[in-house]
């Protein structure tokens, strides 16, 4: 539980129990999360990455039959994209507008 629903139920945007569950089970399903940046709450996605010390994001890429594809043999597409989470724009360094 994280984001708006977590805040309404627990008073916290990212409860400790949520991070503990990720650690215990080594897996979690995460969709888009919202937080009130006007209250100084940092990005919850960045908080999860930093709280779990996640170095990289893995993005599996496969073609699903029937989906349009720009490649000649889409059935042969089977890749994994590794995206580093600790440098450049993914490092989690954020500034408020006008700061």
Per-residue model confidence as pLDDT tens digits over 10-36: 998 889 999 999 999 998 888 887 766
Q: Does a structural domain hold residue 28?
A: yes
Q: Are 66 and 73 in contact (CB under 8 A)?
A: no
Please tell me whether residues 4 and 45 are part of one structural domain: yes
Please tell me whether residues 19 and 38 are part of one structural domain: yes
Q: What's the domain count of the chain?
A: 2
Average pLDDT taken over every residue of the chain: 83
Please tell me whether residues 34 and 20 are part of one structural domain: yes
Q: Does a structural domain hold residue 30?
A: yes
Please tell me whether residues 8 and 42 are part of one structural domain: yes
Burial class (CB in 10 A: 0-12, 13-18, 19+), 2: buried
Please tell me whether residues 76 and 88 are part of one structural domain: yes
Residues in the chain with pLDDT < 70? 35-42, 88-97, 99
Strand partners of residue 80: 60
Please tell me whether residues 43 and 5 are part of one structural domain: yes
Domain that holds residue 80: 55-92
């Amino acid at each position: 539980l994280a984001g708006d629903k977590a805040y309404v139920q627990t008073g916290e945007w990212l409860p400790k129990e949520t991070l503990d569950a990720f650690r215990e089970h080594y897996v979690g399903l995460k969709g888009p999360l919202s937080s009130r940046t006007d209250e100084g709450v940092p990005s919850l996605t960045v908080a999860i990455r930093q709280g779990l010390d996640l170095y990289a994001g893995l993005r599996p890429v496969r073609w699903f039959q029937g989906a349009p594809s720009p490649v000649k043999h889409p059935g042969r597409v089977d890749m994994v994209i590794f995206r580093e989470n600790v440098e450049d724009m993914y490092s989690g360094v954020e500034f408020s507008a006008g700061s």
